[in-house]
Amino acid sequence: MELLRYCLKCYLELGKQEWETIIVLDDMWVMQCPRCRTIYSCFSDGTILIIDRSFYQGL
């Protein structure tokens, strides 16, 4: 989970800036990159859901 505190896309350019934590539940964390706004939902069973907001802007 520690790696997912950082946006994989923006990690180096942001100088290792931490993601914004949006929600923390018993079995799920939702975090967002402060630059590209990509959202990761990380579940306790190891499942990761990636939501790239730029995809929705084009619809």
What's the pLDDT tens digit per position in 47-57? 778 776 655 55
Phi, psi dihedrals of residue 51, rounded to the nearest 5°: -120, 110
Return the higher-pLDDT residue of 59 and 48.
48
Q: Of 13-17, 19-23, 33-37, which range is least confident?
A: 13-17
Longest dimension (CA), the chain: 34
Helical residues (DSSP H) of 1-59, grouped into ranges: 53-57
pLDDT at 29: 82
Residue 11: pLDDT band with limits 50, 70, 90? low
In contact, 10 and 36? CB cutoff 8 Å: yes
Is the pTM here over 0.75, yes or no? no
Q: How many CA atoms lie within 13 A of 42 on its CB side?
A: 18
